[in-house]
Structure 1
Amino acid sequence: MHNELLHIGPLTVYGYGFMIAMGVLAAWFVAEQRARKLKLACEHIFYLVVWCAIGGFASAKILFWVTNWREFLQNPRQIIGSDGFVVYGGIIGGILVGWLYCRIKKLKFLEYFDLMMPSIALAQGFGRIGCFLAGCCYGKETSGPLSVTFTNSDFAPNNVALIPTQIYSSFLDFAHFLLLLYVAKHKKADGQVAACYLIFYSIGRFVIEFFRGDIERGSVGVLSTSQFISIFTTVAGIILLLTVVKKQKQEANINLNSKG
Protein backbone atom coordinates (compact mmCIF):
# COMPACT_ATOMS: atom_id res chain seq x y z
CA MET A 1 0.00 0.00 0.00
CA HIS A 2 1.07 3.58 -0.52
CA ASN A 3 0.38 5.88 2.41
CA GLU A 4 1.43 8.94 0.40
CA LEU A 5 -1.71 9.57 -1.67
CA LEU A 6 -0.58 12.67 -3.54
CA HIS A 7 1.76 15.63 -3.47
CA ILE A 8 0.62 19.23 -3.82
CA GLY A 9 3.82 21.22 -4.09
CA PRO A 10 5.68 20.73 -0.80
CA LEU A 11 2.54 19.29 0.82
CA THR A 12 2.10 15.53 1.07
CA VAL A 13 -1.37 14.09 1.65
CA TYR A 14 -1.11 10.85 3.60
CA GLY A 15 -3.72 8.15 3.31
CA TYR A 16 -4.04 7.62 7.05
CA GLY A 17 -4.64 11.27 7.84
CA PHE A 18 -6.94 11.71 4.84
CA MET A 19 -9.15 8.80 5.87
CA ILE A 20 -9.26 10.01 9.48
CA ALA A 21 -10.40 13.41 8.21
CA MET A 22 -13.01 11.76 5.99
CA GLY A 23 -14.25 9.76 8.96
CA VAL A 24 -14.61 12.83 11.17
CA LEU A 25 -16.46 14.74 8.43
CA ALA A 26 -18.77 11.78 7.75
CA ALA A 27 -19.45 11.43 11.48
CA TRP A 28 -20.32 15.13 11.72
CA PHE A 29 -22.60 15.05 8.66
CA VAL A 30 -24.53 11.96 9.78
CA ALA A 31 -24.85 13.14 13.39
CA GLU A 32 -26.15 16.54 12.35
CA GLN A 33 -28.67 15.10 9.90
CA ARG A 34 -29.94 12.66 12.52
CA ALA A 35 -30.10 15.44 15.12
CA ARG A 36 -32.38 17.43 12.82
CA LYS A 37 -34.71 14.46 12.36
CA LEU A 38 -34.78 13.82 16.11
CA LYS A 39 -35.34 17.55 16.81
CA LEU A 40 -32.23 17.79 18.98
CA ALA A 41 -30.16 20.97 19.31
CA CYS A 42 -28.15 20.87 16.08
CA GLU A 43 -25.96 23.79 17.09
CA HIS A 44 -24.14 21.54 19.55
CA ILE A 45 -23.22 18.78 17.10
CA PHE A 46 -20.22 20.50 15.55
CA TYR A 47 -18.74 21.29 18.95
CA LEU A 48 -19.42 17.78 20.21
CA VAL A 49 -17.62 16.30 17.20
CA VAL A 50 -14.65 18.66 17.56
CA TRP A 51 -14.22 18.29 21.32
CA CYS A 52 -14.80 14.53 21.30
CA ALA A 53 -12.28 14.17 18.46
CA ILE A 54 -9.68 16.19 20.36
CA GLY A 55 -10.32 14.29 23.58
CA GLY A 56 -10.38 10.99 21.75
CA PHE A 57 -7.08 11.49 19.93
CA ALA A 58 -5.40 12.70 23.12
CA SER A 59 -6.68 9.71 25.11
CA ALA A 60 -5.75 7.27 22.33
CA LYS A 61 -2.19 8.62 22.41
CA ILE A 62 -2.01 8.50 26.22
CA LEU A 63 -3.17 4.88 26.30
CA PHE A 64 -0.56 4.03 23.65
CA TRP A 65 2.12 5.52 25.91
CA VAL A 66 0.75 3.55 28.85
CA THR A 67 0.74 0.22 26.98
CA ASN A 68 4.34 0.82 25.85
CA TRP A 69 5.60 2.29 29.12
CA ARG A 70 8.61 -0.04 29.34
CA GLU A 71 9.93 1.05 25.95
CA PHE A 72 9.38 4.74 26.67
CA LEU A 73 10.91 4.38 30.13
CA GLN A 74 14.11 3.15 28.53
CA ASN A 75 14.10 5.94 25.94
CA PRO A 76 11.78 8.84 26.96
CA ARG A 77 12.64 10.81 23.81
CA GLN A 78 10.64 8.31 21.75
CA ILE A 79 7.44 9.66 23.32
CA ILE A 80 7.69 12.86 21.28
CA GLY A 81 7.93 11.15 17.90
CA SER A 82 5.76 8.10 18.55
CA ASP A 83 3.15 7.39 15.88
CA GLY A 84 0.87 4.91 17.63
CA PHE A 85 -2.64 5.19 19.02
CA VAL A 86 -4.89 2.79 20.93
CA VAL A 87 -8.48 3.01 19.69
CA TYR A 88 -9.99 2.11 23.05
CA GLY A 89 -8.31 5.15 24.57
CA GLY A 90 -10.01 7.29 21.93
CA ILE A 91 -13.43 5.74 22.61
CA ILE A 92 -13.17 6.17 26.37
CA GLY A 93 -11.73 9.68 26.12
CA GLY A 94 -14.32 10.77 23.57
CA ILE A 95 -17.17 9.52 25.76
CA LEU A 96 -15.80 11.33 28.81
CA VAL A 97 -15.38 14.59 26.90
CA GLY A 98 -18.90 14.22 25.46
CA TRP A 99 -20.29 13.66 28.94
CA LEU A 100 -18.45 16.73 30.23
CA TYR A 101 -19.73 18.86 27.33
CA CYS A 102 -23.33 17.75 27.90
CA ARG A 103 -23.00 18.45 31.60
CA ILE A 104 -21.66 21.96 31.01
CA LYS A 105 -24.32 22.75 28.38
CA LYS A 106 -27.06 21.06 30.45
CA LEU A 107 -27.94 18.57 27.72
CA LYS A 108 -29.37 15.09 28.26
CA PHE A 109 -26.23 13.00 27.93
CA LEU A 110 -27.88 9.70 26.99
CA GLU A 111 -29.76 11.33 24.12
CA TYR A 112 -26.56 12.65 22.60
CA PHE A 113 -24.65 9.51 23.52
CA ASP A 114 -27.12 7.53 21.40
CA LEU A 115 -26.95 10.14 18.65
CA MET A 116 -23.17 10.09 18.32
CA MET A 117 -22.30 6.40 18.60
CA PRO A 118 -23.42 5.32 15.10
CA SER A 119 -21.27 8.15 13.75
CA ILE A 120 -18.33 6.90 15.79
CA ALA A 121 -18.67 3.46 14.20
CA LEU A 122 -18.81 5.11 10.77
CA ALA A 123 -15.67 7.14 11.48
CA GLN A 124 -13.88 4.02 12.65
CA GLY A 125 -14.67 2.32 9.33
CA PHE A 126 -12.88 5.11 7.45
CA GLY A 127 -10.07 5.10 10.00
CA ARG A 128 -9.35 1.40 9.45
CA ILE A 129 -9.02 2.03 5.72
CA GLY A 130 -6.39 4.60 6.71
CA CYS A 131 -4.67 1.89 8.77
CA PHE A 132 -4.64 -0.33 5.69
CA LEU A 133 -3.06 2.39 3.57
CA ALA A 134 -0.39 3.02 6.19
CA GLY A 135 0.19 -0.64 7.04
CA CYS A 136 -0.40 -0.27 10.77
CA CYS A 137 -2.70 -2.53 12.82
CA TYR A 138 -1.63 -5.40 10.58
CA GLY A 139 -2.48 -9.07 10.91
CA LYS A 140 -0.47 -12.22 11.48
CA GLU A 141 1.42 -14.02 8.76
CA THR A 142 -0.78 -16.32 6.67
CA SER A 143 -0.55 -18.79 3.81
CA GLY A 144 -4.26 -18.46 3.02
CA PRO A 145 -5.67 -16.94 -0.19
CA LEU A 146 -7.07 -13.88 1.62
CA SER A 147 -3.93 -11.95 2.39
CA VAL A 148 -2.13 -8.68 1.77
CA THR A 149 1.58 -8.14 1.20
CA PHE A 150 3.08 -4.75 2.01
CA THR A 151 6.19 -3.69 0.14
CA ASN A 152 6.77 -0.16 1.41
CA SER A 153 5.28 0.09 4.92
CA ASP A 154 6.90 1.78 7.88
CA PHE A 155 4.82 -0.36 10.25
CA ALA A 156 3.96 -3.81 8.85
CA PRO A 157 6.65 -6.35 7.90
CA ASN A 158 7.24 -5.98 4.17
CA ASN A 159 7.14 -8.74 1.54
CA VAL A 160 5.25 -11.07 3.90
CA ALA A 161 1.67 -12.30 3.35
CA LEU A 162 -0.46 -11.02 6.23
CA ILE A 163 -4.09 -11.34 7.32
CA PRO A 164 -5.81 -8.08 6.22
CA THR A 165 -7.20 -7.31 9.68
CA GLN A 166 -7.63 -3.64 8.78
CA ILE A 167 -10.09 -4.51 6.00
CA TYR A 168 -11.98 -6.94 8.22
CA SER A 169 -12.18 -4.29 10.93
CA SER A 170 -13.37 -1.67 8.47
CA PHE A 171 -16.10 -3.99 7.17
CA LEU A 172 -17.24 -4.72 10.72
CA ASP A 173 -17.27 -1.01 11.58
CA PHE A 174 -19.44 -0.10 8.59
CA ALA A 175 -21.77 -3.03 9.37
CA HIS A 176 -21.81 -1.84 12.98
CA PHE A 177 -22.85 1.63 11.81
CA LEU A 178 -25.84 0.23 9.91
CA LEU A 179 -26.81 -2.04 12.80
CA LEU A 180 -26.76 0.87 15.26
CA LEU A 181 -28.97 2.92 12.94
CA TYR A 182 -31.44 0.04 13.04
CA VAL A 183 -31.26 -0.12 16.83
CA ALA A 184 -31.73 3.65 17.04
CA LYS A 185 -34.84 3.46 14.88
CA HIS A 186 -36.43 0.88 17.21
CA LYS A 187 -35.04 1.88 20.60
CA LYS A 188 -37.38 2.15 23.58
CA ALA A 189 -35.18 4.22 25.87
CA ASP A 190 -32.21 6.59 25.72
CA GLY A 191 -28.94 4.78 26.20
CA GLN A 192 -29.82 1.62 24.31
CA VAL A 193 -27.87 2.57 21.18
CA ALA A 194 -24.78 3.49 23.18
CA ALA A 195 -25.01 0.26 25.16
CA CYS A 196 -25.28 -1.76 21.95
CA TYR A 197 -22.24 0.05 20.56
CA LEU A 198 -20.16 -0.92 23.58
CA ILE A 199 -21.30 -4.53 23.44
CA PHE A 200 -21.04 -5.08 19.68
CA TYR A 201 -17.74 -3.26 19.23
CA SER A 202 -16.13 -4.99 22.20
CA ILE A 203 -17.10 -8.46 21.00
CA GLY A 204 -15.94 -7.76 17.45
CA ARG A 205 -12.68 -6.25 18.64
CA PHE A 206 -12.03 -9.18 21.00
CA VAL A 207 -12.30 -11.62 18.07
CA ILE A 208 -10.26 -9.52 15.61
CA GLU A 209 -7.43 -9.31 18.14
CA PHE A 210 -6.73 -13.03 17.69
CA PHE A 211 -5.66 -12.27 14.11
CA ARG A 212 -3.60 -9.14 14.80
CA GLY A 213 0.17 -9.39 14.40
CA ASP A 214 1.38 -6.11 15.92
CA ILE A 215 2.17 -7.60 19.32
CA GLU A 216 4.08 -4.52 20.50
CA ARG A 217 0.72 -3.03 21.57
CA GLY A 218 1.08 -4.81 24.88
CA SER A 219 -0.71 -7.62 26.68
CA VAL A 220 -2.27 -8.55 30.00
CA GLY A 221 -1.53 -12.21 30.61
CA VAL A 222 -2.67 -14.24 27.59
CA LEU A 223 -4.90 -11.40 26.36
CA SER A 224 -3.90 -8.37 24.34
CA THR A 225 -4.44 -4.99 25.97
CA SER A 226 -7.48 -4.39 23.76
CA GLN A 227 -8.98 -7.80 24.59
CA PHE A 228 -8.52 -7.07 28.28
CA ILE A 229 -10.28 -3.71 27.93
CA SER A 230 -12.99 -5.35 25.79
CA ILE A 231 -14.10 -7.43 28.76
CA PHE A 232 -14.81 -4.33 30.81
CA THR A 233 -16.47 -2.37 28.00
CA THR A 234 -18.72 -5.35 27.25
CA VAL A 235 -19.74 -5.53 30.90
CA ALA A 236 -20.27 -1.74 30.95
CA GLY A 237 -22.50 -2.01 27.87
CA ILE A 238 -24.55 -4.82 29.39
CA ILE A 239 -24.99 -2.90 32.66
CA LEU A 240 -26.02 0.25 30.77
CA LEU A 241 -28.49 -1.72 28.63
CA LEU A 242 -30.08 -3.45 31.63
CA THR A 243 -30.25 -0.15 33.53
CA VAL A 244 -31.99 1.83 30.80
CA VAL A 245 -34.41 -1.03 30.01
CA LYS A 246 -35.29 -1.37 33.70
CA LYS A 247 -35.80 2.39 33.97
CA GLN A 248 -38.00 2.39 30.88
CA LYS A 249 -40.19 -0.39 32.28
CA GLN A 250 -40.53 1.42 35.62
CA GLU A 251 -41.58 4.62 33.86
CA ALA A 252 -44.05 2.68 31.72
CA ASN A 253 -45.59 1.11 34.83
CA ILE A 254 -45.83 4.51 36.56
CA ASN A 255 -47.59 5.98 33.53
CA LEU A 256 -49.93 2.99 33.34
CA ASN A 257 -50.83 3.26 37.01
CA SER A 258 -51.40 7.00 36.79
CA LYS A 259 -53.82 6.48 33.91
CA GLY A 260 -55.59 3.72 35.80
Structure 2
Amino acid sequence: METGIAPIDRVAINIGGIHIYWYSIIILSGAILGLWVAVRESERRGIGKDTFLDFVLIGFPVSLIFARIYYVIFKWEYYAEHPSKIFAIREGGLAIHGVLVGAILTMLVFVKVRNISFWKLADILAPSLILSQAIGRWGNFINQEAHGGPVTREFLENLYLPQFIINQMYIGGKYFHPTFLYESLWNFVGFILLMLLRRLNLRRGELFLTYIIYYSFGRFFIEGMRTDSLMLTEYLRMAQVISVVLILTAILIIWYRRKKGYADIRYLDNGM
Protein backbone atom coordinates (compact mmCIF):
# COMPACT_ATOMS: atom_id res chain seq x y z
CA MET A 1 0.00 0.00 0.00
CA GLU A 2 1.40 3.36 -1.01
CA THR A 3 0.72 6.47 1.04
CA GLY A 4 1.23 8.84 -1.88
CA ILE A 5 3.40 11.01 0.39
CA ALA A 6 7.14 11.17 -0.16
CA PRO A 7 9.43 10.99 2.87
CA ILE A 8 10.88 14.20 4.26
CA ASP A 9 13.85 15.36 2.22
CA ARG A 10 17.05 14.75 4.17
CA VAL A 11 18.58 17.90 2.66
CA ALA A 12 17.45 20.99 4.53
CA ILE A 13 19.38 23.59 2.54
CA ASN A 14 21.05 23.45 -0.86
CA ILE A 15 23.38 26.36 -1.56
CA GLY A 16 25.23 26.17 -4.84
CA GLY A 17 25.33 22.40 -4.76
CA ILE A 18 26.43 22.30 -1.13
CA HIS A 19 23.97 20.21 0.86
CA ILE A 20 23.22 20.88 4.50
CA TYR A 21 21.36 17.93 5.99
CA TRP A 22 18.59 17.99 8.56
CA TYR A 23 20.51 15.37 10.54
CA SER A 24 23.45 17.72 11.03
CA ILE A 25 21.21 20.67 11.88
CA ILE A 26 19.27 18.68 14.48
CA ILE A 27 22.37 17.18 16.12
CA LEU A 28 24.01 20.62 16.29
CA SER A 29 20.81 22.22 17.63
CA GLY A 30 20.63 19.64 20.42
CA ALA A 31 24.26 20.23 21.29
CA ILE A 32 23.82 24.04 21.36
CA LEU A 33 20.72 23.88 23.57
CA GLY A 34 22.44 21.42 25.89
CA LEU A 35 25.46 23.72 26.02
CA TRP A 36 23.28 26.68 26.95
CA VAL A 37 21.73 24.74 29.84
CA ALA A 38 25.12 23.55 31.06
CA VAL A 39 26.84 26.95 30.82
CA ARG A 40 24.12 28.60 32.90
CA GLU A 41 24.44 25.94 35.57
CA SER A 42 28.25 25.95 35.52
CA GLU A 43 28.29 29.64 36.40
CA ARG A 44 25.92 29.02 39.32
CA ARG A 45 28.19 26.22 40.55
CA GLY A 46 31.35 28.32 40.42
CA ILE A 47 32.83 27.10 37.14
CA GLY A 48 33.37 30.12 34.90
CA LYS A 49 31.74 30.24 31.50
CA ASP A 50 35.09 30.44 29.73
CA THR A 51 36.36 27.34 31.53
CA PHE A 52 33.28 25.37 30.61
CA LEU A 53 33.35 26.54 26.99
CA ASP A 54 37.00 25.45 26.79
CA PHE A 55 35.90 21.99 27.87
CA VAL A 56 33.07 21.86 25.33
CA LEU A 57 35.29 23.06 22.47
CA ILE A 58 37.51 20.05 23.16
CA GLY A 59 34.90 17.57 24.33
CA PHE A 60 32.32 18.03 21.56
CA PRO A 61 34.55 17.09 18.59
CA VAL A 62 36.25 14.33 20.59
CA SER A 63 32.87 12.86 21.51
CA LEU A 64 31.71 12.98 17.88
CA ILE A 65 34.87 11.21 16.77
CA PHE A 66 34.41 8.47 19.36
CA ALA A 67 30.71 8.19 18.47
CA ARG A 68 31.64 7.55 14.86
CA ILE A 69 34.52 5.19 15.68
CA TYR A 70 32.21 3.13 17.90
CA TYR A 71 29.59 2.88 15.16
CA VAL A 72 32.08 2.06 12.39
CA ILE A 73 33.75 -0.69 14.45
CA PHE A 74 30.49 -2.58 14.82
CA LYS A 75 29.55 -1.99 11.17
CA TRP A 76 33.02 -2.74 9.86
CA GLU A 77 31.84 -5.37 7.37
CA TYR A 78 29.99 -2.60 5.52
CA TYR A 79 32.61 0.13 5.91
CA ALA A 80 35.45 -2.17 4.85
CA GLU A 81 33.72 -2.36 1.47
CA HIS A 82 32.73 1.33 1.46
CA PRO A 83 35.67 3.19 3.10
CA SER A 84 34.57 6.52 1.61
CA LYS A 85 31.44 6.31 3.80
CA ILE A 86 33.41 6.21 7.05
CA PHE A 87 33.43 10.00 7.27
CA ALA A 88 29.87 10.52 5.96
CA ILE A 89 28.49 11.52 9.36
CA ARG A 90 25.77 13.65 7.80
CA GLU A 91 24.10 10.42 6.64
CA GLY A 92 23.78 9.21 10.24
CA GLY A 93 25.68 6.67 12.26
CA LEU A 94 26.65 8.18 15.62
CA ALA A 95 26.53 5.91 18.68
CA ILE A 96 25.64 7.53 22.01
CA HIS A 97 27.84 5.11 23.93
CA GLY A 98 30.76 6.34 21.85
CA VAL A 99 29.79 9.90 22.83
CA LEU A 100 29.92 8.92 26.50
CA VAL A 101 33.35 7.34 26.11
CA GLY A 102 34.69 10.44 24.38
CA ALA A 103 33.12 12.83 26.90
CA ILE A 104 34.37 10.89 29.94
CA LEU A 105 37.91 10.57 28.58
CA THR A 106 37.98 14.29 27.80
CA MET A 107 36.69 15.11 31.29
CA LEU A 108 39.32 12.93 32.95
CA VAL A 109 42.10 14.88 31.25
CA PHE A 110 40.44 18.28 31.50
CA VAL A 111 39.73 18.16 35.24
CA LYS A 112 43.32 17.18 35.95
CA VAL A 113 44.64 20.15 33.99
CA ARG A 114 42.11 22.66 35.42
CA ASN A 115 41.98 21.19 38.95
CA ILE A 116 38.21 20.74 38.90
CA SER A 117 36.18 17.92 40.42
CA PHE A 118 35.32 15.30 37.81
CA TRP A 119 32.02 14.55 39.54
CA LYS A 120 31.07 18.21 39.78
CA LEU A 121 31.57 18.68 36.07
CA ALA A 122 29.76 15.41 35.29
CA ASP A 123 26.74 16.42 37.39
CA ILE A 124 26.49 19.75 35.58
CA LEU A 125 26.64 18.00 32.21
CA ALA A 126 24.14 15.22 32.94
CA PRO A 127 20.87 17.08 32.14
CA SER A 128 22.45 18.63 29.05
CA LEU A 129 23.56 15.24 27.73
CA ILE A 130 20.13 13.66 27.94
CA LEU A 131 18.47 16.79 26.50
CA SER A 132 20.84 16.69 23.52
CA GLN A 133 20.06 13.00 23.05
CA ALA A 134 16.32 13.68 23.14
CA ILE A 135 16.65 16.27 20.37
CA GLY A 136 19.21 14.30 18.39
CA ARG A 137 16.85 11.34 17.96
CA TRP A 138 14.81 13.49 15.58
CA GLY A 139 17.76 13.36 13.23
CA ASN A 140 17.19 9.60 13.08
CA PHE A 141 13.54 10.34 12.31
CA ILE A 142 14.49 12.42 9.26
CA ASN A 143 16.88 9.70 8.08
CA GLN A 144 14.22 6.99 8.65
CA GLU A 145 16.59 5.01 10.85
CA ALA A 146 16.68 3.74 14.45
CA HIS A 147 13.17 2.40 14.02
CA GLY A 148 11.62 -0.80 15.30
CA GLY A 149 9.91 -3.70 13.62
CA PRO A 150 6.93 -3.52 11.25
CA VAL A 151 3.50 -2.47 12.51
CA THR A 152 0.22 -1.47 10.92
CA ARG A 153 -0.87 2.07 10.16
CA GLU A 154 -3.79 1.46 12.50
CA PHE A 155 -1.34 0.75 15.33
CA LEU A 156 0.41 4.07 14.75
CA GLU A 157 -2.87 5.95 14.51
CA ASN A 158 -3.98 4.43 17.82
CA LEU A 159 -0.91 6.07 19.40
CA TYR A 160 -2.42 9.43 18.35
CA LEU A 161 0.72 10.35 16.48
CA PRO A 162 0.78 13.34 14.12
CA GLN A 163 0.38 12.39 10.47
CA PHE A 164 3.88 13.58 9.57
CA ILE A 165 5.37 11.00 11.94
CA ILE A 166 3.11 8.21 10.69
CA ASN A 167 3.96 9.04 7.07
CA GLN A 168 7.70 9.15 7.79
CA MET A 169 7.47 5.71 9.39
CA TYR A 170 6.35 4.29 6.04
CA ILE A 171 9.57 2.78 4.70
CA GLY A 172 9.95 0.36 1.84
CA GLY A 173 6.27 -0.44 1.71
CA LYS A 174 5.79 -1.04 5.45
CA TYR A 175 5.11 0.95 8.60
CA PHE A 176 7.55 0.64 11.50
CA HIS A 177 7.68 1.27 15.24
CA PRO A 178 8.87 4.87 15.83
CA THR A 179 11.46 3.80 18.40
CA PHE A 180 13.28 7.07 17.81
CA LEU A 181 10.21 8.76 19.32
CA TYR A 182 10.01 6.37 22.27
CA GLU A 183 13.61 7.13 23.18
CA SER A 184 13.24 10.86 22.56
CA LEU A 185 10.25 11.04 24.92
CA TRP A 186 12.06 8.88 27.50
CA ASN A 187 14.99 11.28 27.36
CA PHE A 188 12.85 14.41 27.64
CA VAL A 189 11.25 12.97 30.78
CA GLY A 190 14.75 12.15 32.04
CA PHE A 191 15.84 15.74 31.47
CA ILE A 192 12.94 17.03 33.57
CA LEU A 193 13.70 14.44 36.26
CA LEU A 194 17.38 15.45 36.47
CA MET A 195 16.50 19.13 36.63
CA LEU A 196 14.18 18.39 39.56
CA LEU A 197 16.78 16.23 41.29
CA ARG A 198 19.18 19.16 41.28
CA ARG A 199 16.94 20.80 43.87
CA LEU A 200 17.21 17.79 46.19
CA ASN A 201 20.92 18.48 46.61
CA LEU A 202 22.09 14.92 45.93
CA ARG A 203 25.55 13.75 46.81
CA ARG A 204 28.10 14.93 44.29
CA GLY A 205 28.37 12.54 41.36
CA GLU A 206 25.01 10.92 41.89
CA LEU A 207 23.14 13.17 39.46
CA PHE A 208 25.41 11.94 36.66
CA LEU A 209 25.17 8.33 37.84
CA THR A 210 21.37 8.65 38.00
CA TYR A 211 21.47 9.79 34.38
CA ILE A 212 23.51 6.73 33.46
CA ILE A 213 21.07 4.38 35.22
CA TYR A 214 17.93 6.09 33.92
CA TYR A 215 19.04 6.33 30.30
CA SER A 216 20.46 2.80 30.22
CA PHE A 217 17.28 1.31 31.68
CA GLY A 218 15.11 2.83 28.95
CA ARG A 219 17.65 2.14 26.21
CA PHE A 220 17.78 -1.55 27.12
CA PHE A 221 14.08 -2.07 26.41
CA ILE A 222 13.83 0.28 23.42
CA GLU A 223 16.90 -1.29 21.83
CA GLY A 224 15.15 -4.66 21.95
CA MET A 225 12.53 -3.29 19.55
CA ARG A 226 14.97 -1.94 16.96
CA THR A 227 15.91 -3.61 13.69
CA ASP A 228 19.26 -1.88 13.13
CA SER A 229 21.08 -2.71 16.36
CA LEU A 230 24.85 -2.96 16.47
CA MET A 231 25.45 -6.61 17.33
CA LEU A 232 28.11 -8.00 19.66
CA THR A 233 27.29 -11.57 18.62
CA GLU A 234 24.54 -13.08 16.52
CA TYR A 235 22.13 -12.80 19.43
CA LEU A 236 23.55 -10.09 21.72
CA ARG A 237 22.78 -6.46 20.96
CA MET A 238 25.74 -4.28 21.88
CA ALA A 239 23.64 -1.43 23.30
CA GLN A 240 21.75 -3.80 25.60
CA VAL A 241 24.95 -5.37 26.92
CA ILE A 242 26.49 -1.93 27.49
CA SER A 243 23.29 -0.73 29.18
CA VAL A 244 23.36 -3.59 31.70
CA VAL A 245 27.07 -3.01 32.36
CA LEU A 246 26.53 0.73 32.86
CA ILE A 247 23.62 0.23 35.27
CA LEU A 248 25.54 -2.24 37.41
CA THR A 249 28.70 -0.12 37.30
CA ALA A 250 26.83 3.06 38.29
CA ILE A 251 25.14 1.31 41.22
CA LEU A 252 28.48 -0.12 42.34
CA ILE A 253 30.15 3.30 42.14
CA ILE A 254 27.36 4.90 44.20
CA TRP A 255 27.72 2.19 46.87
CA TYR A 256 31.53 2.36 46.90
CA ARG A 257 31.75 6.16 47.09
CA ARG A 258 29.25 6.27 49.95
CA LYS A 259 30.98 3.47 51.81
CA LYS A 260 34.39 5.16 51.51
CA GLY A 261 33.07 8.63 52.32
CA TYR A 262 33.90 10.00 48.87
CA ALA A 263 30.34 11.21 48.32
CA ASP A 264 29.88 13.39 51.42
CA ILE A 265 30.01 16.63 49.40
CA ARG A 266 26.61 17.64 48.06
CA TYR A 267 25.72 18.98 44.62
CA LEU A 268 25.02 22.51 45.88
CA ASP A 269 28.11 22.67 48.12
CA ASN A 270 30.85 25.11 47.20
CA GLY A 271 34.33 24.02 46.28
CA MET A 272 35.91 22.49 43.21
TM-score, scaled relative to structure 2 = 0.81
Question: Structure 1 140/109 Cα, relative in aligned 2: closer, same or farther at 3 Å?
Answer: same
Alpha-carbon distance in structure 2 between the residues aligned to 1:189 and 1:112: 13
Kept after mapping to 2: 8 A contact 1:140/1:213: yes
Residue 5 of structure 1 aligns to a residue whose secondary structure is: strand
**Residue 60 in 1 paired to residue 74 in 2?**
no
Question: Structure 1 250/173 Cα, relative in aligned 2: closer, same or farther at 3 Å?
Answer: closer
Kept after mapping to 2: 8 A contact 1:150/1:158: no
Deviates more, 1:117-126 or 1:141-150: 141-150
Kept after mapping to 2: 8 A contact 1:35/1:115: yes
Matched residue, 1:95: 104
Matched residue, 1:44: 51
Cα deviation, residue 127, structure 1: 0.4
User: What value does the CA root-mean-square deviation take over the aligned residues?
Assistant: 2.4
**Residue 33 in 1 paired to residue 35 in 2?**
no
Matched residue, 1:256: none
Cα deviation, residue 195, structure 1: 0.6
Match of 2:24 among 11, 17, 29: 17
Kept after mapping to 2: 8 A contact 1:23/1:123: yes
Question: Structure 1 52/250 Cα, relative in aligned 2: closer, same or farther at 3 Å?
Answer: closer
Which digits, 9 at most, give the CA deviation of each residue in 1:213-247, with x for residues without a partner?
214x2243533111111111111211222233334
**Alignment coverage as a number of residue pairs:** 247
Match of 1:231 among 237, 244, 266: 244
Query: Which amino acid in the other structure matches residue 109 of structure 1?
Result: F
Query: Which amino acid in the other structure matches residue 172 of structure 2?
Result: N
Deviates more, 1:67-76 or 1:102-111: 67-76
Alpha-carbon distance in structure 1 between the residues aligned to 2:140 and 2:41: 28
Query: Which amino acid in the other structure matches residue 208 of structure 1?
Result: I
Matched residue, 2:147: 138
User: After superposition, where does 1:143-154 map in structure 2 within 5 Å?
Assistant: 143=152, 144-145=155-156, 146=159, 148-150=166-168
Match of 2:196 among 182, 193, 209: 182
Kept after mapping to 1: 8 A contact 2:258/2:264: no
Question: Structure 1 75/18 Cα, relative in aligned 2: closer, same or farther at 3 Å?
Answer: closer
**Residue 213 in 1 paired to residue 232 in 2?**
no
Q: List runs of 5+ in structure 2 lacking aligned partners.
A: 1-7, 160-164, 266-272
Match of 1:197 among 211, 226, 245: 211
Match of 1:111 among 113, 120, 130: 120
Kept after mapping to 1: 8 A contact 2:179/2:225: yes
Kept after mapping to 2: 8 A contact 1:189/1:248: no
Matched residue, 1:79: 86
Cα deviation, residue 34, structure 1: 0.9
Kept after mapping to 2: 8 A contact 1:6/1:14: yes
Alpha-carbon distance in structure 1 between the residues aligned to 2:250 and 2:214: 9
Cα deviation, residue 68, structure 1: 1.7
Cα deviation, residue 250, structure 1: 8.1
Cα deviation, residue 85, structure 1: 2.1
Alpha-carbon distance in structure 2 between the residues aligned to 1:248 and 1:73: 49
Deviates more, 1:219-228 or 1:131-140: 219-228
Alpha-carbon distance in structure 2 between the residues aligned to 1:166 and 1:251: 38
Question: Structure 1 251/162 Cα, relative in aligned 2: closer, same or farther at 3 Å?
Answer: closer
Alpha-carbon distance in structure 2 between the residues aligned to 1:91 and 1:34: 20
Alpha-carbon distance in structure 1 between the residues aligned to 2:69 and 2:17: 31
Question: Structure 1 5/177 Cα, relative in aligned 2: closer, same or farther at 3 Å?
Answer: same
Identity value in percent: 23
Alpha-carbon distance in structure 1 between the residues aligned to 2:205 and 2:197: 11
Alpha-carbon distance in structure 1 between the residues aligned to 2:44 and 2:105: 25
Residue 50 of structure 1 aligns to a residue whose secondary structure is: helix
Matched residue, 1:128: 137
Which digits, 9 at most, give the CA deviation of each residue in 1:40-76, with x for residues without a partner?
2322111222222111111111111211233344555
Kept after mapping to 1: 8 A contact 2:257/2:263: no
**Residue 242 in 1 paired to residue 255 in 2?**
yes
